[in-house]
Amino acid sequence: MLCQRAGLHQNGESMADSKKDICRIELGESSYELPVVVGSEGERGIDISSLRSTTGHIALDRGYMNTGSCVSSISYIDGEQGILRYRGIAIEDLAEKSTFVETAYLVIYGELPTASQLKEFSAMFTKYEMLHEGLKHHFEGFPPNAHPMAILSSMINAMGCYEADIADSDQHFDEVLVRIMSKVRTIAAFSYKKSIGEPFIYPYPEFSYCANLLHMMFSVPYKEFFPSKEAISALNKFFILHADHEQNCSTSTVRMVASSKANLFASIAAGVCSLWGPLHGGANMAVIEMLDQLYKDKTKTKDFVAQIKDSTNKTKLMGFGHRVYKNHDPRAKIIKKSCDELLSKLKINDPTLEIAKELEEIALQDEYFISRKLYPNVDFYSGIILRALGIPANMFTVMFAIGRIPGWIAQWREENADPKGKICRPRQIYNGQTSRPYKKLADR
Ligand code: CMC
C-alpha cells in the first residue's frame, strides 16, 4: 500500500483533490486508488468506504487499532505529544479555570457559554435534579450488593421510560440532555445510599453540581454534610478531565447504538456498560484494589514490577498504558498534582499514594515500560482523590461515568447530525465450518 503525502487542509475534514492525495493499493495484477482524508489538525486517513465494492476485500483491524469510525469536532488528542483539547481548548486550561458544568456546555454546544447562557444552563440542572418517585421504587429491585454501574445503566434506561414523550424528539434535545446529566447524579447518590442501607437524600436546589452530589451521598437525615471548597474543586477537576476523550470504547459504543437511531437514554445506558470493564473506566477501581493489596501484603514495589514483567504471568500495572497516548497522558499529570494538593489540604496521609509514586518511578525507568511506551493514565491517581473525598471504590467508575456524560451526549448528537452517517455495521472474516449437512438427532 502506498500513501503519498500532500499539503494539509485547514478547514476540518477535506477530501484530497489533487493527484498526490491518493492512496494506491495493489492487489494481484490490479491497482486501485483510495482517497486520503485530512483533518483540521493535519491528521490523515485513507477513506476505505469503497474498498469492498471496488476490490472485493474488506479491511481487517481487530480492536479498531487503525480504524477511524467517524469525523468529529469534539475532542482532539495527539497521542505522541500528550495533547488533549475539548473543542480546541487545552485540557490544562479547562482543568485550571473552568467548572464541570461550563465544560459540559462547551463539549456539547461547541462554544464556552456566555454568562446568561451559563446561568440558564445551570438553572435547568436544578429544575430537573429530582427523580420521579415512581423511578425511585426501581432501586428496591436491586440486591444490596448490586454493583452501582449495573444500577446506573439500568436506571438511565428506566429514566427513559419516564421521559418517553420527549426521549425520541430532536426538538427536546436541550431538555433531555440536562435531565440526563442532572438526574444521573441523583441516581449515583441513591445507588450508593441503597448499597449502604441508608435513606435517600434529596438534592438541594441552591447547591452547585458537585456540591449537590457530595451532599446526596454523605448527608444523613439527622446531619447535613457541607462539602469543603477543596473537595468541590477536586471533584470539578476530576469531572472536567473525564468529560470527553474522542472515540474510546464507551464513546464508540454510544455512537454505535446511536447509529441505529436509538434514543439518548438507551445509547448512554450502553455507554455505561462499556465503560465498566477494568481495561477502560473500571481501571480506577482496579488500581486502588491493586495498591491496597500491595499495601496489605507489604509487597515490595520492585518485586511487583518484576512480576508484571514476567511473561508467564498475566499481571498488569493497572492505570498504566493507553491505546492513543504514547508519550504521556496529560490528564494523569493534572490528576497527580490535584491528588497531592487535595491530600495535603485535607491533611490525609494515604500510604497508597507513596506506593503509586514508587511504582511510577520504577516503571518510568524500566526498559519493559519504556519500550512499550507505557505511562500512567488518568486512572492511576484518580482513585486516591476519590477515596480522599470519601467515595468508596465500587463507586469510582460511576464517578468516571458522570464525568463522561457530556462527551457521550455531544458524540450522540454529532452521530445523529452527520448527513453522511450510516448504521455501524462492521464486517468480519469468517473462519468457521464450511457448508455441511444437518444430521438428524438419531444419526449424531
Ligand atoms: N501493564 C503491563 N503491561 C502492559 C500494560 C500494563 N498496564 N499495558 C500494556 N502492556 C503491554 C502489553 O502486555 C503488550 O505487551 P507485549 O507487546 O509484550 O504483548 C504491550 O504493552 C502493548 O499493550 P496492548 O495491550 O497491546 O495495548 P492496547 O492499546 O491494546 O491496550 C490498554 C491499552 C489501556 C487496554 C492497556 O494498556 C491496559 O490494559 N492497561 C491497564 C488498564 C488501564 O489502566 N486502563 C485504563 C485506560 S485509560 C482510561 C480510559 O480511557 O479507559
pLDDT in tens, 391-418: 999 999 999 999 999 999 999 999 999 9
In percent, the amount of the chain with pLDDT more than 70 equals: 95
CB 248 near ligand 1, within 6 Å = yes
Q: Give residue 359's pLDDT.
A: 97
pLDDT band at 223 (very low <50, low <70, confident <90, very high): very high
* Residue 402 lies inside a defined structural domain of this protein: yes
Residues 225, 322, single domain; the answer is: no
Nearest residue (by CA) to ligand 1, atom 51, is 280
Residues 154, 289, single domain; the answer is: no
Q: Which three cell numbers stand for residue 351?
A: 500510604
Mean pLDDT of the chain: 93
Q: Give residue 3's pLDDT.
A: 45
Residues 34, 163, single domain; the answer is: no
Residues 221, 320, single domain; the answer is: no
pLDDT band at 13 (very low <50, low <70, confident <90, very high): low
Give the DSSP H or E segment for 58: none
What is the CATH number for 201? 1.10.580.10
* Residue 247 lies inside a defined structural domain of this protein: yes
pLDDT band at 20 (very low <50, low <70, confident <90, very high): low
Question: Taking the CB of residue 111, how many other CB atoms lie within 10 A of it?
Answer: 11
Q: Give residue 425's pLDDT.
A: 96
* Residue 172 lies inside a defined structural domain of this protein: yes
Which ligand 1 atom is at minimum distance from the Cα of 280?
52
Q: Give residue 93's pLDDT.
A: 98
Question: Is the pLDDT at 423 greater than 70, yes or no?
Answer: yes
Backbone angles phi, psi at 90, to 5 degrees: -60, 140
* Residue 17 lies inside a defined structural domain of this protein: yes
* Residue 418 lies inside a defined structural domain of this protein: no
Cα of 374 to ligand 1 centre, how many Å? Answer: 7
Nearest residue (by CA) to ligand 1, atom 40, is 321
Q: Give residue 192's pLDDT.
A: 93
Residue type, 180: I
CB 378 within 8 A of CB 275: no
CB 245 near ligand 1, within 6 Å = yes
- The active-site residue out of 9, 322, 329, 350 is 322
Q: By three-state DSSP, how is residue 418 classified?
A: coil
- Residue of 249 and 145 predicted with greater confidence: 249
In percent, the amount of the chain with pLDDT more than 90 equals: 88
Give the DSSP H or E segment for 357: helix 351-364
Cα of 209 to ligand 1 centre, how many Å? Answer: 33
Using only C-alpha atoms, what is the Rg of the chain? 24
Which ligand 1 atom is at minimum distance from the Cα of 63?
30
Q: Give residue 11's pLDDT.
A: 38
CB 330 near ligand 1, within 6 Å = no
* Residue 95 lies inside a defined structural domain of this protein: no
Q: What is the C-alpha to C-alpha distance for residues 233 and 338, in angstroms, rounded to an integer?
A: 9
Q: What's this model's pTM, rounded to 2 decimal places?
A: 0.94
Which ligand 1 atom is at minimum distance from the Cα of 323?
29
Q: Give residue 269's pLDDT.
A: 98
Q: Give residue 212's pLDDT.
A: 96
Question: Is the pLDDT at 26 greater than 50, yes or no?
Answer: yes
**pLDDT by residue (tens digit) across 153-188?**
999 999 999 988 888 878 899 999 999 999 999 999
Residues 149, 181, single domain; the answer is: yes
Q: Give residue 7's pLDDT.
A: 36
What is the CATH number for 325? 1.10.230.10
**pLDDT by residue (tens digit) across 67-119?**
999 999 999 999 999 999 999 999 999 999 999 999 999 999 999 999 999 99
Ligand 1 pocket mutation pick from 242, 305, 318, 322 by most atoms within 8 angstroms of CB: 322
Residues 359, 409, single domain; the answer is: no
Residues 257, 331, single domain; the answer is: no
Residues 262, 327, single domain; the answer is: no
Residues 237, 352, single domain; the answer is: no
| Domain end marker among 23, 45, 60 | 60
In terms of Cβ atoms closer than 10 Å to its own Cβ (0-12, 13-18, 19+), residue 199 is exposed
CB 279 near ligand 1, within 6 Å = yes
Q: Give residue 189's pLDDT.
A: 96
CB 428 within 8 A of CB 59: no
Cα of 66 to ligand 1 centre, how many Å? Answer: 16
Residues 156, 266, single domain; the answer is: yes
Concerning whether 174 is annotated as a catalytic residue, the answer is: no
Residues 230, 269, single domain; the answer is: yes
Q: What sign for the dihedral angle of Cα 414, 420, 423, 426?
A: negative
Give the domain extent around 314: 283-388
- The active-site residue out of 21, 329, 350, 379 is 379
Cα distances (Å, whole numbers) of residue 297 to 70, 293, 301, 425: 46, 6, 11, 47
Q: What is the C-alpha to C-alpha distance for residues 39 and 51, in angstroms, rounded to an integer?
A: 21
> DSSP of 208-275, one letter per residue?
-HHHHHHHHHH-BTTB-----HHHHHHHHHHHHHHS--SS-HHHHHHHHHHHTT--HHHHHHHHHHHH
Residues 146, 270, single domain; the answer is: yes
CB 320 near ligand 1, within 6 Å = yes
**pLDDT by residue (tens digit) across 346-366?**
999 999 999 999 999 999 999
Region 133-145 average pLDDT = 89
Domain count along the chain: 3
* Residue 166 lies inside a defined structural domain of this protein: yes
Concerning whether 379 is annotated as a catalytic residue, the answer is: yes
pLDDT band at 6 (very low <50, low <70, confident <90, very high): very low
| Domain end marker among 25, 41, 60 | 60
Question: Is the pLDDT at 59 greater than 80, yes or no?
Answer: yes
Nearest to 412 by CA among 201, 266, 220, 249: 266
Window from 8-12, 201-205, 226-230, 292-296 with minimum mean pLDDT: 8-12
The DSSP output letter for 56 is: S
Q: What is the C-alpha to C-alpha distance for residues 188 and 172, in angstroms, rounded to an integer?
A: 24
